[in-house]
Amino acid sequence: MKKITSVCPYCGAGCKLKLVVENNKIIRAEAAEGVTNQNQLCLKGYYGWDFLNDTRLLTPRLTRPLIRYQKGDKFTPVSWDEAIRYTAQRLLEIRDSEGPRAIMTTGSSRGTGNETNYVMQKFARAVLNTNNVDCCARVCHGPSVAGLQETLGNGAMSNSISDIENSKCLLIFGYNCADSHPIVARRVIKARQNGAKIIVCDPRRIETARIADQHLQLNNGCNMALVNAFGYVLIDEQLYDKEYVHKHTQGLDAYWQTVKDYSPEAVEHLTGVPASQVRQAMRTFAAAPSATVMWGMGVTQFGQAVDVVRGLSSLALLTGNLGRPHVGVGPVRGQNNVQGACDMGVLPNLFPGYQDVTDAAVREKFARAWGIDASRMDDKVGTRITEVPHLALEGKIKAYYIMGEDPLQTEADLGLVRDGFAALDFVVVQDIFMTKTAEMADVILPATSWGEHGGVFTCADRGFQRFDKAIEPTGDVKRDWEIISLLASEMGYPMHYENNQQIWDEMRELCPLFYGVTYEKMGDMGHIQWPCPDLDHPGTPYLYENSRFDTPDGKGKLFAAPWRAPAEVPDEAYPLVLCTVREVGHYSCRSMTGNCAALQALADEPGYVQISMQDAQKAGIRHRELVWVSSRRGKVISRADVSERINRGAVYMTYQWWIGACNELTQDNLDPISKTPETKYCAVKVERIVDQ
Ligand code: SF4
């Protein structure tokens, strides 16, 4: 029996754990003394590994390369040589006939690790010659990256998960940490025990609201109006830190010109929050000796998400809550390595280390290191994954190489996504399970899973952590970066890596932000937060020391925008708002947690629709009854979860259920800047099945 150090492959909390292995089988997981989790795990950390043992699989593990030579044919098992030869040939044909931008690629924010993401973006840029590379940050915290980059200069959490408990006030906006990041939720409870004031802004009575000093139960779709009202109170009541604002920020006059129309009294009818509560919340927030603003996808999955992120960071700027311990802004990243995927440049506008693809000097640097002529580098921002269905239907994207993503389950408006996929000439899926996306592929390249390889993840607070291989893989599978390297070499760009560390060191040499994060420094239990610019640097627990921001003039930018209504509001035919949410027992598209026996037993049926008692009563719906949920785009069966915690006029569903994913119903109104879809808001109706 041996114990292998790893990092949980689910949420961005970055919990360290030990996988206990016997006879090449994992027999249990034990909590380890990681910096963010300190010997604690949630149920996914304890029980989310047994898909590796093939115990009770819902979906088959991919164990050998498969090709569908003609659309409509069945898959044919093939050798790796044939899979690589065929895929390389098809990609070359499309690149050379349609141009590099006709091919889209993805990195993966899950178990594959930073090294593979670095290799994937290198493949896109150096071999395909396109910036068409993206990841699922696009459908979650893309707006946080875009918004914070503009106002503060870095798109990441400014503080540390371990420091949340030391803050004296937590403003938690659109973030249900008990379900999304249970170990972060423990930090919130500790903060409460340490005397922090907790202010929760959420339409539902979520768990955190139960321990909060104030729960502002705003109407769905009104985030910008409430954030503007917060800014209004801070200035109107002279609660803001004038000296700090004068010294460290810019844009106060323009900010006031917008928020002056958003007094809490003026927008009470819109937000649904009594003006006195809004004023009280900001008095508490401004009076706290230290305050932290945290948010989740209740902020980012809207058509006006980037504006709200900029508005939330402005609240921290107005009160001087940046650039020192116990304060900051915390967009708590969802997946275990979504921060890492962004760090490694699987973004259409940025090379690894947040270096701009439109900067000629940066392109020259990467081209030189990669041994190609800089003129072959794409000098324009590439395509985002949410644009792919539209561009495929327009004939502008012909091929899609997808690694460790399941867009046919997780993206908004699945009917549209399916139509887009049907219009593609060539789809390559590199994954561990036969996902819904894999079922539509032309080529399937089976990869090793978390547990079967090692590497480095970045958790939500910018902390790099190593994880080790625990077991030998079964089946004819290869490491993700090995598959990409074989393809690159077959396409005429020799790419040979011997191990993870070789890739990591190549990446470090090109990224000043990460240069000092060596394998040795991370060691077994290390957690090194970027920036870490040199070998002696210990890492950075909080950004913007002394409130020197990473903006062109070093100042934080105050920002407000008028509120915009969501794209599709309820009406007589579809009278309820649908909002997508998370569920504690399963993760993302459920391909991993749905294949774990213990998690299946604990939460076998995440396909519920949460509905208020009043709306259920009106429709004659009983608790646990099967119902139809329909929108203008589709219709799915779900089980009613009638609850007093749910606000009237809205219903909530997870997208983790294979039968009738709620993304059949959602719509793809995209934020104009981040191109993130508005999966938190569309109009639906809920009906008893027996009435049909
Ligand atoms: Fe920690 Fe998140 Fe894994 Fe739970 S799912 S053990 S909170 S990393």
CA distance 579 to 651: 6
ipTM: 0.99
Instruction: Compute and round to an integer the Cα radius of gyration of the chain.
Output: 24
Give the per-residue pLDDT at 322.
97
- With a 6 A CB cut-off, is 334 part of the ligand 1 pocket? no
Query: Ligand 1 centroid to 430 CA: how many Å?
Result: 25
Q: Would you say residue 265 has pLDDT above 90?
A: yes
Give the per-residue pLDDT at 25.
93
Closest ligand 1 atom to 7 CA: 8
Q: Would you say residue 482 has pLDDT above 80?
A: yes
What does the pLDDT look like over 403-412, one tens digit per residue?
999 999 889 9
CA distance 354 to 340: 11
pLDDT-derived band at 601, boundaries 50, 70, 90: confident
Closest ligand 1 atom to 183 CA: 7
The three-state DSSP-derived secondary structure of 57-98 is CCCCECCCCEECCCCCCCCEECCHHHHHHHHHHHHHHHHHHH
Most confident of 286-290, 523-527, 606-610: 286-290
Q: Considering the chain, what is the average pLDDT of its residues?
A: 94
**What's the whole-number mean pLDDT along residues 519-530?**
94
- With a 6 A CB cut-off, is 178 part of the ligand 1 pocket? no
Can you say how many angstroms the Cα of residue 333 is from the centroid of all Cα atoms in its chain? 5
pTM, to two decimals: 0.95
- With a 6 A CB cut-off, is 443 part of the ligand 1 pocket? no
Query: Ligand 1 centroid to 10 CA: how many Å?
Result: 6
Query: Ligand 1 centroid to 448 CA: how many Å?
Result: 21
Give the per-residue pLDDT at 660.
56
**What's the whole-number mean pLDDT along residues 184-206?**
97
pLDDT-derived band at 387, boundaries 50, 70, 90: very high
pLDDT higher at 416 or 335: 416
Going by alpha carbons, the residue nearest to atom 6 of ligand 1 is: 45
Going by alpha carbons, the residue nearest to atom 1 of ligand 1 is: 15
Among 10, 161, 175, 588, the mutation site with the greatest number of ligand 1 atoms within 8 A of its Cβ is 10
What does the pLDDT look like over 428-451, one tens digit per residue?
999 999 989 999 999 999 999 999
Sign of the alpha-carbon torsion through 332, 335, 340, 341: negative
Exposed e or buried b per residue across 404-415, where buried means at least 16 C-beta atoms within 10 angstroms of its C-beta: bbbbbbbbbbbe
With pLDDT > 90 as the criterion, what percentage of the chain qualifies? 88
**What's the whole-number mean pLDDT along residues 260-275?**
98
Give the per-residue pLDDT at 335.
86
pLDDT higher at 586 or 456: 456
Query: Ligand 1 centroid to 555 CA: how many Å?
Result: 35
**What's the whole-number mean pLDDT along residues 171-195?**
95
Closest ligand 1 atom to 8 CA: 3
What does the pLDDT look like over 119-141, one tens digit per residue?
999 999 999 999 999 998 898 89
- With a 6 A CB cut-off, is 10 part of the ligand 1 pocket? yes
pLDDT-derived band at 357, boundaries 50, 70, 90: very high
- With a 6 A CB cut-off, is 15 part of the ligand 1 pocket? yes
CA distance 192 to 177: 14
pLDDT-derived band at 691, boundaries 50, 70, 90: low
pLDDT-derived band at 56, boundaries 50, 70, 90: low
Determine the 3-state secondary structure of 189 from DSSP.
helix
- With a 6 A CB cut-off, is 17 part of the ligand 1 pocket? no
Q: Would you say residue 333 has pLDDT above 90?
A: no
The answer to whether 17 and 41 are in contact (CB under 8 A) is: yes
The answer to whether 427 and 418 are in contact (CB under 8 A) is: no
List of E strands, 380-493 = 399-403, 426-431, 443-446, 455-458, 463-467
List of E strands, 292-340 = 292-295, 328-331
CA distance 650 to 510: 48
**What's the whole-number mean pLDDT along residues 131-152?**
93
